[in-house]
């Protein structure tokens, strides 16, 4: 595949002599498409949803984080594409840098695109551009199907909602019950 990966917005916001975050180079794809949610204690605590699509990580900041309860509609604000190797970044973004604060990988895993249009699987990049897609997550914590829907065409404000399936829970308290990193087991305050 000969695609152009535009990570200039990502690179321009960061000084890689100061932060240990990876510089954005070219994309590469892994065998299974991956996702992660990074817990990010910046000026405000939020969760960054990363989704591998066409060689980059499509990204959304989710202020309240994901839920396993289909009743919860979680605002997800689109942010710049990130390089694939950001998917498992955890550490501390230094003071004075873009996004300064502690980051841990709250969940990570693979996903399947399950967006169906006219009886066919729709290309995920096309579905994202149109503002609606469905995915099935296979994470260490999150599993099952989720819907993402853009609320209007001008602003990149989306809603992340758990779909009703055997992984749905009426009490969506997974963020509080399992706060630790899915990679290191550390809590956000323990990140160095
Ligand atoms: Mn963030």
The two tokens of residue 157 are 């404000």
Domain ranges of the chain: 3-173
DSSP 39-70: EEESSSEEEEEEEEETTEEEEEEETT---S-T
CA 123-108-85 angle, 5° bins: 75
CA of 38 to the centre of ligand 1 (A): 8
Reported residue count of the chain is 192
Which residues have CB atoms below 5 A from the ion given as ligand 1? 40, 48
The pLDDT assigned to 117 comes to: 84
CA of 49 to the centre of ligand 1 (A): 9
CA of 99 to the centre of ligand 1 (A): 6
The pLDDT assigned to 5 comes to: 65
CA of 9 to the centre of ligand 1 (A): 14
121 to 3, 99, 125: CA distances (angstroms): 21, 36, 12
Let me know: does 144 contact 168? Beta carbons within 8 Å.
yes
d(C-alpha 59, C-alpha 45), whole Å: 16
CA of 182 to the centre of ligand 1 (A): 17
d(C-alpha 47, C-alpha 65), whole Å: 5
CA of 121 to the centre of ligand 1 (A): 31
Q: In a structure prediction context, what are the per-residue pLDDT tens digits for the chain, which is 192 residues long? A: 335 567 888 889 998 888 889 877 655 545 689 999 999 999 999 999 999 999 999 999 999 999 999 999 999 999 999 999 999 999 999 999 999 999 999 999 999 999 988 878 899 999 999 999 999 999 999 999 999 999 987 789 999 999 999 999 988 799 999 999 999 999 999 998
């Amino acid at each position: 595949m000969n695609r152009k990966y535009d990570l200039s917005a990502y690179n321009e916001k960061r000084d890689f002599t100061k932060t240990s975050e990876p510089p954005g180079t070219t994309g590469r794809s892994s065998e299974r498409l991956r996702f992660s949610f990074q817990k990010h204690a910046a000026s405000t605590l939020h969760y960054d949803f990363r989704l591998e699509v066409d060689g980059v990580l499509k990204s959304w900041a989710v202020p309240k984080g994901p839920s396993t309860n289909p009743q919860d509609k979680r605002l997800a604000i689109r942010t710049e594409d990130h390089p694939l190797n950001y998917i498992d970044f955890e550490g501390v973004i230094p003071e004075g840098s873009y996004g300064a604060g502690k980051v841990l990988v709250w969940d990570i895993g693979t996903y399947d695109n399950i967006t169906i249009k006219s009886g066919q699987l729709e290309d995920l990049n096309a579905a994202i551009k149109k503002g609606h897609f469905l995915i099935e997550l296979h994470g260490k914590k999150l599993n099952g199907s989720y819907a993402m829907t853009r609320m209007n065409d001008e602003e990149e404000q989306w809603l992340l909602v758990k779909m009703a399936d055997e992984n749905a829970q009426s009490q969506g308290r997974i963020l509080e019950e399992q706060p630790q990193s899915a990679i290191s087991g550390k809590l956000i305050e323990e990140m160095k």
